[in-house]
Copies of this chain bind each other. A is one copy, B any other.
Amino acid sequence: MSQERILRLERDILSKNDAFAGANRARLKASGIFALNLLSSPGSGKTSLLVRTITDLQFHFPIAVIEGDQQTSNDADRIRATGAPAIQINTGKGCHLDAHMVGHALDQLPMAAGGLLFIENVGNLVCPAAFDLGEAHKVVVLSVTEGEDKPLKYPDMFAEADLLLLNKVDLLPYIDFDMTACVGFARRVNPRIEILTVSARTGEGLPAFYRWIEEHALDTALPAQRSV
């Protein structure tokens, strides 16, 4: 099969996805819902970060989650244990969420207007970068255990994100990780990216993430949560 045929198909897939993403974005905006698309490698700690964030913020405004994984409903089960509603999407052989899947999940998700929606993508630092889901922002999570070179080696993901959360900073004393180099690499790929260091395990740095959410949700109906 020709390279040209593959490229044409990719363009078709992405253009169809963009149409669904536009519809999701309009629908979320009409409901005043602030949506974040969380992206990372497998095992960077996205779900632990969400569990802690929901526990800390859920009495300030409604929070719901769409979970993407190849298999299992483990992550949605962990989210539901916090009391927040969650829909699990299993992609099977698929390596990313697309906007059509997210639209179907929105149909099923009991979600109040003026809330916060987290979409936890399939753990994959490559493919999900290309698929707009209708979110307000892409947030990339990188565990410091993965090494400082990842922004250069997987540039598309870091170029697409508005926020980089450097997670598991509680492990910094036990590993070789060059924070200055990592920040420099991320800014080289994406000069406008914001960067926060956090630990979902200890809670370190999470208040700054919560402030980031509040500041970026100002144009939606998400109520202020200054008491956090």
A178 to chain B, nearest CB (A): 13
A166 to chain B, nearest CB (A): 12
- Cβ-based interface call for A71 (8 A): yes
Q: Which residues of B contact A147 (CB under 8 A)?
A: 43
Assess whether B153 is in contact with A69, with CB atoms less than 8 Å apart.
yes
Bound-state Cα–Cα, A174 to B152, Å: 28
Say which residue of B93, B126, B149, B152 sits within 8 Å of A122 (CB atoms).
B126
- Cβ-based interface call for A155 (8 A): yes
Say which residue of B9, B123, B174 sits within 8 Å of A125 (CB atoms).
B123
Say which residue of B124, B130, B168 sits within 8 Å of A126 (CB atoms).
B124
Residues of A102-126 contacting chain B, CB below 8 A? 122-126
Known A171-B145, A171-B174: A152·B71 in contact at CB below 8 Å: yes
Q: Which residues of B contact A69 (CB under 8 A)?
A: 153
- Ranked 5 nearest A-B pairs via Cβ: A43-B146, A95-B126, A145-B145, A41-B41, A41-B42
Could you list some 19 contacts between A and B, CB below 8 A?
Answer: A1-B9, A1-B13, A41-B41, A41-B123, A42-B150, A42-B153, A43-B145, A70-B126, A71-B152, A72-B153, A74-B149, A93-B130, A94-B126, A95-B124, A123-B125, A143-B145, A145-B145, A145-B168, A171-B174
